[in-house]
Amino acid sequence: MTDSTPDMPTPEELFARPFFFCGIGGSGMLPLAQILQGRGCKVEGSDRSFDQGRTPDKFAAMQDQGLVLHPQDGSGIVSKDQILVASAAIEDTVPEVQRARELGCLRLTRAELNSILFNTSGAGLAIAGTSGKSTVTGMLGWILHACGREPTIMNGAVMKNFVSPERPYASAVVGGQSIYVSEVDESDGSIALYRPAVGVLLNVSLDHKSMEELRQLFGDYLERSRIAVINADDPEALALLPRAKEVITFGIEQEKAQIGIVPGSIAEGPVRQAALVVDRHDGSEHALRLALPGRHNLSNALAAIAGAAAAGIPVASAVAALADFQGLARRFDIVGTTVAAITVIDDFGHNPEKCAATLRTLRAHPGRVIAFFQPHGYGPLRQMGHELAETFAHELEPDDRVILCDPVYFGGTVDRSEGSERIVRMVEEAGGRADYIPSRKAVGDRIVSIASPGDRIVVMGARDDTLSDFARDIFQRLS
């Protein structure tokens, strides 16, 4: 909480007041707005992308759901009773922030609001880790839904199983108040706000913070969890096991993991896979069918099965439910395959681990890879540039292509002195090949001009909904 905000009301008082979301279209903001609206709260908001005319279909769908949108000029803040929900990083010069301060409105960050919803539910199920959070949140939410537990789900990505004509951007599900499933974020330290009944830890690797900070944050998180669910295949995650009270482990490689895979049972394909899941509590085996490729998604499935087991769902029921899991938008999302067998994939990969998982999945099957990466900010690019460069250099073959454009920038005071051209140099120094093309339009032209039959084109990046439009445009041009 900032020093200038009023005292925190009780949850009952809080949810009786109107909410205003600054940046309501953001991947972390929209699901919260949907949950509050579904619980009867009055919800309004503004967004810079709405003013700029970006992703008009998305904002039209939000208005159709009854979310009231205003220009980002402060005009939507009209009463001191309104609660302003805004990122902790948002500049004080934004009109909504200025107006809220003038009126004395309570201000909450996205994570503060989510943690209140989470901690006041009957049982909060949290998914943490550097990579895979959204996918596991979707998987675990779907298992609980399919098993009749009516969870409320807060996700940072659109969950295809819950999409409908009325809710095309289903990044949230408004269920009951007894179970609240949510991904929790370490990048801003807000993971410290959550008190989980079940705390899942997928992995610990470099992203927004140093490894020392991450070990502390994730270790504290496990200590606060009533039951911890830990990836035994990830050495950094497993090393934190002594911090937990009660533990369920999962893993593909570790034969001592309580939820694991029968050796030799994995059958991988370019768009789906199958395996035998073993519950080592009783030795039972269960045939898993998963409509997602990649070893990382098999690990994600085990995480969701173990998380469900911690919540009292039989392993057999969880495995059966995952056969119908359709995946998430922008997570190895196949846009289409042309007559010339060129496949275009839309993917959220934006840190070294996520990008590596996607590239390994592609490299496991024949065909050249053309990887386009749009960094999700100048700050993150400085933090993990070396690891990104190593990933692109080592995960791809000499015939593959990597193209980077300038990072996402929607305004503000961030230092933009070092961008993607530095990463391209580092890729080449690490023995790989990469091209720097500043403008995304020029990138599209280049990709279309070099694409050949059998190529797989993957569009990677975060914090920019128009990347999906870009991927669809490439597919249409190639078709």
Please determine, for residue 407, whether its predicted confidence score (pLDDT) is greater than 90: no
Q: What is the mean pLDDT of residues 183-196?
A: 93
pLDDT of 410 reads 65
pLDDT of 10 reads 93
Please determine, for residue 1, whether its predicted confidence score (pLDDT) is greater than 50: no
Confidence class for position 157, pLDDT limits 50, 70, 90: very high
Please determine, for residue 225, whether its predicted confidence score (pLDDT) is greater than 90: yes
Spatial distance between the Cα atoms of 457 and 345, rounded to a whole number of angstroms: 6
Please determine, for residue 182, whether its predicted confidence score (pLDDT) is greater than 60: yes
pLDDT of 401 reads 94
Give pLDDT tens digits for 10-19. 999 999 999 9
Please determine, for residue 172, whether its predicted confidence score (pLDDT) is greater than 50: yes
Tokens of 109: 């960050």
Spatial distance between the Cα atoms of 90 and 73, rounded to a whole number of angstroms: 14
341 neighbors 306 (Cβ within 8 angstroms): no
pLDDT of 109 reads 95
197 neighbors 124 (Cβ within 8 angstroms): yes
Q: What is the mean pLDDT of residues 174-199?
A: 95
- Residue whose C-alpha is closest to residue 473's, from 335, 375, 369: 335
Please determine, for residue 208, whether its predicted confidence score (pLDDT) is greater than 70: no
Q: What is the mean pLDDT of residues 317-322?
A: 98
- Residue whose C-alpha is closest to residue 320's, from 356, 340, 290, 299: 290
41 neighbors 452 (Cβ within 8 angstroms): no
- Residue whose C-alpha is closest to residue 155's, from 24, 28, 330, 304: 28
Question: Between 464 and 265, whose confidence is greater?
Answer: 265
Q: What is the mean pLDDT of residues 363-382?
A: 89
pLDDT of 262 reads 97
CA atoms within a 13 Å half-sphere pointing along the CA-CB vector of 448: 16
Tokens of 140: 């675990």
- How many Å is the Cα radius of gyration of the chain? 22
Give pLDDT tens digits for 50-106. 999 989 999 999 999 999 999 999 999 999 999 999 987 788 899 999 999 999 999
- Residue whose C-alpha is closest to residue 292's, from 361, 242, 375: 361
Confidence class for position 411, pLDDT limits 50, 70, 90: low
Q: What is the mean pLDDT of residues 203-231?
A: 91
Please determine, for residue 152, whether its predicted confidence score (pLDDT) is greater than 60: yes
Return the amino acid letter for 265. S
- Residue whose C-alpha is closest to residue 252's, from 305, 302, 190: 302
pLDDT of 413 reads 64
pLDDT of 2 reads 44
**Cα angle: 466, vertex 439, 93; to 5 degrees:** 65
Average pLDDT, the chain: 93
Query: What are the angstrom distances between the C-alpha of 359 and each of 256, 301, 449, 451?
Result: 29, 19, 22, 17
